[in-house]
Amino acid sequence: MTKWVYHFGAGAADGSAALRDLLGGKGANLAEMAALGLPVPPGFTITTEVCTHFYANGKTYPADLEAEVEAALTRLGEIAGHAFGETNWPLLVSVRSGARASMPGMMDTVLNLGLNDETVEALAKIARNERFAYDSYRRFIEMYSTVVLGLEHHEFEDALEAYKAARGQTLDTELTAEDWRKVAALFKEIVEKATSRPFPQDARQQLWGAIGAVFSSWMNARAIIYRQLHNIPENWGTAVTVQAMVFGNMDDQSATGVAFTRNPSTGARELYGEFLINAQGEDVVAGIRTPQSITEAARRAGGSERPSMEAALPQIFAEFRAIAQRLETHYRDMQDMEFTVERGRLWMLQTRAGKRTGPAALKIAVDLATEGLISREEAILRIDPLSLDQLLHPTIDPDAKPAILASGLPASPGAAAGEIVFDAAEAEKLAAAGRKVILVRVETSPEDIGGMHAAEGILTTRGGMTSHAAVVARGMGKPCVCGVGAIRVNYEEQSFSVAGRRFSKGDLITIDGSAGRVIAGAVTMRQPELTGEFAVLMGWADKARRMRVRANAETAADTRAARRFGAEGVGLARTEHMFFEGERIVAVREMILADDAAGRRAALAKLLPMQRADFQELFEIMSGLPVTIRLLDPPLHEFLPHSDTEIAEVARAMGADPAKLRQRARELSEFNPMLGFRGVRLAVAFPEIVEMQARAILEAAIAAAAVTGVAATVEIMVPLVFGRPELDFVRAQVAATAAAVTEETGLTPSYKVGTMIELPRACLRAGEIAQTAEFFSFGTNDLTQTALGVSRDDAGAFLGVYSQKGILPADPFVTIDQEGVGELVRLAATRARAERPGIKLGICGEHGGDPASIAFFESVGLDYISCSPFRVPIARLAAAQAALGKTATSTA
């Protein structure tokens, strides 16, 4: 018989951390902590399998669940010494969600469950605090009613405001026990009016209502969006943990807090967290009261007057510090813990691997390995390669010395600039239109997720380092500044004021998430230093990986950046990018307008010296490393103007007949340019272009060698072939040019000729093509377009729908479609190697910078991956992880 319910508490547990899939992160870790003998309020977890059953059977439960829950409640009562539903000594519980992966704030929670008109009186007696009891009761009624009964928060908030207004009160703290009792009564009336039945008084009815609500919240809109953003499968489901309540808000010897075993922002090895005396956990997380530091050191660093936990509750602090240390050692990773102190007694409510910034993840992994807690391989596997992106983002140039507008908490590092926007939905809209925005909010809520993802950075005026905005921004790697109290937001006027200035929607600001600063306008940024832990981990990764990492680059700036980021060559230099600048485009257009090969040759002769100079610079920058140069690829109409105005302008500038220009543009225009007259097809039709490009490449190689003293490693790549004859044709052309260059210079530049494999037919004919090609580079962008029949430029119209309806698991232009495109790549590799063992195989599509795709390329045994320069470190780490046999996943 399937076991649906797992008990924990009193030094024992049915489950353990190993049962994360079944019990969720929270449930598994509570079981683990209980088994370790740590002080955990007793409880039980209903498994994720119940969730699966729930959705598979029209939101009903397994038949035997109720009996198991009853048994667990009985055991809970035995440990607590009083039973659930007992009226004179109430056992209150919390009901929480807990999925395999952390989804903070996405699903529903109900606290203080078990309170009713009778037990609230009992609670008041036991706590010797009537005000606390009725405050708890009215909170419970509001929470239960919104989560389980579907009422809106504002219905309760409005009633409370009206109640206070009628009495001339403004702060909650002014309300007495009697007030709260009246408010609770008011709240019950609201429920009865809305639902046509009284607020449920039966504890078991309350419990099952809450369990159902938590399971249902797995499919709420924000949870769905969160899963999509984080690639969490829907079928994982959530567990539900029911746990005895402890109260951090009973008195001044009560407290609640959250803490990390290391600094989640910097990775520094220091206990790091916040707490509030006489508060419930939600008060810390919600950011409504600004919390106090856990340690004295942090308090001093933050310049706070209010006492740290270390000073205020020294014994509890010592106990907590020891537990934190034990948990980190036990889990071999930085922990994120929640705790409550009830009347001087410490209770651990949760522990989990802590979310951290990219730099912190790096430092923690390197430190843990240096401390001997984990191996270097584990350190490599601990870092989500995509998180390195944060390290590679620009920071504010210290020399810029910008005037600081306001300061707040450095909630998530990195700097960002953009237009001010006050609404998450609008942030999404503007970002979709290509605008860069900074989302400015008093505080953020789970509903804002989409807008936070779309924004360059987030600024809030309230809340601390563990507020919603801070936690989510760190997870996303977005710069974030929190709690900037000096800024006053006026949502209605869509503006904020600070230091006597007014900023409106659309005005530019810069935020520095590392320093917690806000600056007016857009500020000069600086590239990050790639040293310290980054260099250490990269060094370990480079030793662990098998695949080489190259960059897609053709400009001197990009190529230099690529080499600085550790690229081991250029995997794709797009020669056409060199065709667009200044006078070059004029010569290119002359070539296109020429009536015959002689006319084209004359125009190409003008391009030759420019291309040669470009290539020479590339070879010099990448001296000692291979450089793959792709011959002209795009259709020629891309170089021509199209609108009548542009045509007239260009014709005048180049002294050409506008009619002829228009005519040629019309002749060259295509229905499906992606499948048109481009790539090797241009080379076959206009061999003189190959002739010029081959000459430029080979002469540049000779010139670069003369400068550097090292022979250039030249790889000439032919795009868009679908069979060997095309490649033979171009190869012969290149060979003839090489022979001419040798005759003229007396030097024999060495070079290889290879091809992009970017059409399905090329994959099928790979064996034959490999008879001629000395290397392959998979062009997985175009291969995805042709294999799936999806134009990347037009896919927006339906890929979204495909994702929503679950037809495509991931965007195939981001992560390679292993089942389709992947099979073609594998098949091509196999066939090519059968004909030419040891043929060099690489990939230069966008997938070259995607960790999941890189894991696949490792499995195919490609020799190298090539990606954009800023992705090179990501690719190096992902390649190492792939070599260690693990696909990249987040550490969170």
Question: Which 3 state secondary structure label does DSSP give 414?
Answer: coil
User: Exposed, middle or buried: residue 168 (CB in 10 Å: 0-12, 13-18, 19+)?
Assistant: exposed
Q: Please say which residue, 491 or 798, places its beta carbon nearer to its own copies.
A: 798
Nearer to its own copies, 183 or 588 (CB): 588
**Binding residues for its own copies, per CB under 8 A?**
668, 670-677, 681, 684-685, 720, 722-723, 725-726, 729, 758-761, 764-765, 782, 785-791, 793-794, 797-798, 801-802, 805-808, 817, 819-821, 823-824
Q: What is the 3-state secondary structure (H, E, C) of 464-519?
A: CCCCHHHHHHHHHCCCEEECCCCCEEECCCCEEEECCEEEECCCEEEEECCCCEEE
Q: Is 466 annotated as a binding residue?
A: no
| Shortest reach from residue 769's CB to its own copies, in Å | 11
Quick check: helix, strand or coil at residue 432? Answer: helix
* In the complex, least distance from residue 799 CB atom to its own copies, rounded to whole angstroms: 9
- Residue 758 marked ligand-binding: yes
Question: DSSP secondary-structure letter at 776?
Answer: E
Output DSSP code: residue 625. Answer: S
CA dihedral sign of residues 225, 380, 27, 280: negative
The rounded distance, in Å, linking the Cα atoms of 842 and 840 is: 7
Q: Least CB distance from residue 485 to its own copies, whole Å?
A: 45
- The CB-of-829 to its own copies minimum distance in angstroms stands at 15
Cα–Cα–Cα angle for 338, 343, 348, rounded to 5 degrees = 20
* CB nearer to its own copies: pick between 766 and 877: 766
> What b/e readout covers 574-589, taking b as 16+ CB neighbours within 10 angstroms?
bbbebbeeeebbbbbb
The minimum distance between CB 601 and its own copies, in angstroms, equals 18
Is 167 annotated as belonging to a binding site?
Answer: no
Of 237 and 779, which has the nearer Cβ to its own copies? 779
Report the nearest approach of its own copies to the CB of residue 776 (Å): 16
The full DSSP string for 366-397 is HHHHHTTSS-HHHHHHHS-GGGHHHHHS-EE-
- Phi then psi dihedrals of residue 777, to 5 deg: -130, 115
The nearer residue to its own copies, 249 or 786, going by C-beta atoms, is 786
Shortest spacing between CB 797 and its own copies, in angstroms: 4
Catalytic (active-site) positions = 468, 844
Q: Of 290 and 791, which has the nearer Cβ to its own copies?
A: 791
Judge whether 78 is annotated as a binding position: no
- Give me the helix-helix angle, 177-195 and 153-166, nearest 10°: 140
- Distances from the Cα of 681 to the Cα of 634, 712, 718, 734, angstroms: 10, 28, 10, 15
Q: Are 261 and 354 in contact (CB under 8 A)?
A: yes
Strand partners, 244: 93
Q: Is the Cβ of residue 645 or residue 672 nearer to its own copies in the bound state?
A: 672
Report the nearest approach of its own copies to the CB of residue 634 (Å).
13
Nearest CB to its own copies, comparing residues 328 and 758: 758
> If you count them, how many residues does the chain have?
892
What angle, 0 to 180 degrees and rounded to 10, lies between the N-to-C axes of helices 658-668 and 582-593? 80
Check the annotation: does 780 bind a ligand. Answer: yes
Binding site annotation covers 800? no
CA distances from 819 to 788, 808, 824, 862 (A): 11, 11, 9, 17
Residues 416 and 395 sit within 8 Å (Cβ to Cβ): no
Distance CA 644, CA 339 (A): 70
Consult the annotation and say whether 57 binds a ligand. Answer: no
* Cβ contact 232:209 at 8 Å: no
Sign of the CA dihedral running 833, 835, 836, 840: negative
Least Cα distance to 12 among 37, 39, 30, 43 occurs for 37
- Cβ nearer to its own copies, comparing 382 with 731: 731
- Return binding residues for substrate: 574, 630, 758, 779-782
Detail the residues annotated as belonging to a binding site for Mg(2+). 758, 782
Show binding-site residues.
574, 630, 758, 779-782
